[in-house]
Structure 1
Amino acid sequence: MSKRKRPDSKAPAQSMTEQEKILYNLIQSKQDLGIWSRDMKRETRLPDNVVDKSLKSLLGRGLIKEVVNVQFKGRKHFLASEFEPSPEITGGQWYNDQGSLDSEFINFLKDQCLKHIRNLKVSTVDTVADAVRRSRVLKDDYSSQQIGDIVRALVLDNDVIEMRSNGLGEFASIPTGRVCYKCRRLPDATKEHRVGAMASIPCGVCPRIAHCTPGGIISPTTCEYYRKWLDF
């Protein structure tokens, strides 16, 4: 469901030109996904100068806003002001306001999750998420799914082992067959991987790598961070 702000009590259509109405209605119809300026021109078939002038007017009156699309940062992307952009556009909580992957925060959260997995000996995503919440080290609340992204990134970093509980011994508190995690490295060696291969490429700190697929919204072919690493 789209996150939608309370609409302005003013009726914006009253003072719009016909071209502005066409563009505003199109942008509004895209809800929290918004639309690229070139797609607007293609769908409305309005002249480029008319689109540019109308967008400038709508922006100046606060009826629409330009947002960063983390997959295509060079494109001008617009939303109606009453909507908050979808995580598909912003990258979600793993990206900062400039649309860049927040590697520093991700690494901090990785360290917190790793600490709790180590203390718990064997844990599930839910028990790690609960431990992170109880620690109160984070300003915002993170869902088990989001913490799961971080834990799976730790698996890729080779810090954590993913396995299934057999219900015996150290797994006694975890239902048989359930996916769980335990630390692979000793406490004094937990940061060795930061200078390794996985730390040097953006995938090593990206918690959304599990959702990255060729042709998908998150894709190696459209990821500018991966492209910059290849160029380097």
Structure 2
Amino acid sequence: MSTNKSEEAIKEKILNAAKKNPKGISDKDIKAAVPELSSGELVAAINSLLQQGCFDLFNQCGSLIYRLKAQTSKTAVKGADNEEKVVYNLIEEAGNKGIWIRDIRVRSNLANTQLTKVLKSLESKKVIKAVKCVNASKKKVYMLYNLEPDRSISGGAWYQDQDFESEFVDILNRQCLRFLQQRADKIKNNVRGPIVGRTQSYATGAEVHKYITDLGISNVTLDVEDVVTILNTLVYDGKAESSVYPDGSKVFRAIESLLPPPGLVQVPCGVCPLIHKCYSKGLITPQDCTYMNEWLE
């Protein structure tokens, strides 16, 4: 009996640690939350919680991350009225991209006053949350409390509280370029010839990502996709070029620019989540971009 109580107490401590970190916890975080656990007990407790469906499991930069499943929030709406259940289900269906209040109102057929009351009730129970969109500062979407917003909503690593982190992007930009230049300088006088040297001067996003991670200059966890985004800004700035290997992987190398760089990284275009839509619509100049004008204000 005491053993079962002890196991339940351990699980409760792990779950409490996960609730405090909606983005997920690692083995290191769990050990810090429950330092008395041995390695064997840690594995047993985590496996038990995974079997019970308490966690979603992710691989982040080689480390396992345990994120509390959003569905565990359903316990908060078990005793709720039908209106709360309807709104909750609509928000759950929207996933991590969220849903506008207007769409909730249309699909639930609730009046504005009643819908506002329901949303406030679910927010107070920490079942759902409202998230501002980086591409529309006045727009809020609702999603389940434990979900991490999609990059199209949050802007990813380049935004903090919906503010574009230009200094952070600039630092990463310079460090990525430094890595590519060091790679190019190292093999500039390759004895096997200029063609082989040129080929070897290319670096993959994973290689640059490892370099940035080892530097420890980022307070947020960056993935390879984030670093590739930065490398693309170097290409836009004319400081690097990209190529594609036969296996489909994209690679980058530093180049000597003949023209002054346009400075895309100084404005949000280089890391804007809407850049592909922007180009597809032909909005080439900043004056034509509504998002740019909002950022400048």
Corresponding residue for residue 123 of structure 1: 202
Q: How much does 1:54 deviate?
A: 0.9
User: Equivalences for 1:40-79 in 2 at 5 Å?
Assistant: 40-79=104-143
Q: Is the 8 A contact 1:59 1:65 kept in 2?
A: yes
Query: What SS class does the counterpart of residue 157 from structure 2 fall into?
Result: helix
Corresponding residue for residue 181 of structure 1: 253
2:268 maps to 1:202: yes
Q: How much does 1:163 deviate?
A: 5.3
Percent identical among aligned pairs is 26
Residue among 87, 95, 101 paired with 2:164: 101
Query: What SS class does the counterpart of residue 137 from structure 2 fall into?
Result: coil
Corresponding residue for residue 169 of structure 1: none
2:143 maps to 1:87: no
Q: How much does 1:31 deviate?
A: 1.9
Separation of aligned partners in 1, 2:146 and 2:267: 37
Letter in 2 for 1:182: A
Q: How much does 1:226 deviate?
A: 1.4
* Bigger mean CA offset, 7-16 vs 20-29: 7-16
- Which has a greater percent of helix? 2
Separation of aligned partners in 2, 1:141 and 1:33: 20
Q: Is the 8 A contact 1:68 1:77 kept in 2?
A: yes
CA offsets per residue over residues 35-67 of structure 1, 9 Å max, x none?
110110111111111111111111122111111
Q: Is the 8 A contact 1:27 1:80 kept in 2?
A: yes
Letter in 2 for 1:134: D
- Which has a greater percent of strand? 2
Separation of aligned partners in 2, 1:9 and 1:201: 39
2:289 maps to 1:226: no
Separation of aligned partners in 2, 1:75 and 1:178: 35
Corresponding residue for residue 7 of structure 2: none
2:216 maps to 1:144: no
Separation of aligned partners in 2, 1:228 and 1:106: 19
Q: Is the 8 A contact 2:135 2:291 kept in 1?
A: no
Q: Is the 8 A contact 2:181 2:254 kept in 1?
A: yes
Corresponding residue for residue 98 of structure 2: 34
| Higher relative contact order structure (alpha carbons within 8 Å, sequence separation ≥ 6) | 1
Rg larger in 1 or in 2? Answer: 2
TM-score, length basis structure 1? 0.73
RMSD of aligned residue pairs (Cα, Å) = 3.6
Query: What SS class does the counterpart of residue 293 from structure 2 fall into?
Result: helix
Separation of aligned partners in 1, 2:93 and 2:109: 17
Aligned length: 209
Q: Gaps spanning 5+ residues in structure 1: where?
A: 166-174, 187-191
CA change 1:82–1:148 in 2 (3 A) is closer
Corresponding residue for residue 170 of structure 1: none
Letter in 2 for 1:115: R
Q: How much does 1:119 deviate?
A: 0.8
